């Protein structure tokens, strides 16, 4: 179905796909939960500071002598 005058494509998509059916997102939610649990249990991010000098690309959070987290886009 196309959007009628004044309706956005987002509104049309919501009408076509029920907002109550989240089964398609279950794996992403599970993965995000595992990542969150890992960071909370094993990475002292509250002690970390940005230290991008440690990487040639991307971003780095580091707690010298303890841990570092590197994001490479």
For the chain, what is the domain count?
A: 2
pLDDT digits (tens, 9 = 90+) for 5-62: 555 555 555 555 566 778 888 999 999 999 999 989 999 989 999 999 999 999 999 9
Long-range CB contacts for residues 18-21, cutoff 8 Å, separation at least 24? none
Segments forming the whole domain that contains residue 70:
43-73
1 and 31 share one domain: yes
- The pTM score is 0.52
User: H or E stretch including 63?
Assistant: strand 59-63
34 and 53 share one domain: no
* DSSP string computed for 24-60: GGHHHHHHHHHHHHHHHHH--GGG-EE-GGG-SSSEE
52 and 69 share one domain: yes
19 and 50 share one domain: no
- Asked whether residue 2 carries a pLDDT value surpassing 80, the answer given is no
């Amino acid at each position: 179905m196309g959007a009628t005058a004044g309706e956005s494509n987002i509104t049309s998509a919501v009408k076509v796909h029920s907002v109550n059916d989240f089964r398609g997102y279950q794996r992403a939610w599970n993965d995000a939960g595992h990542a969150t649990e890992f960071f909370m249990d094993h990475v002292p991010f509250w002690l970390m500071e940005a230290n991008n000098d440690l990487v040639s690309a991307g971003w780095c959070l580091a707690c010298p002598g303890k841990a570092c987290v590197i994001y490479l886009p």
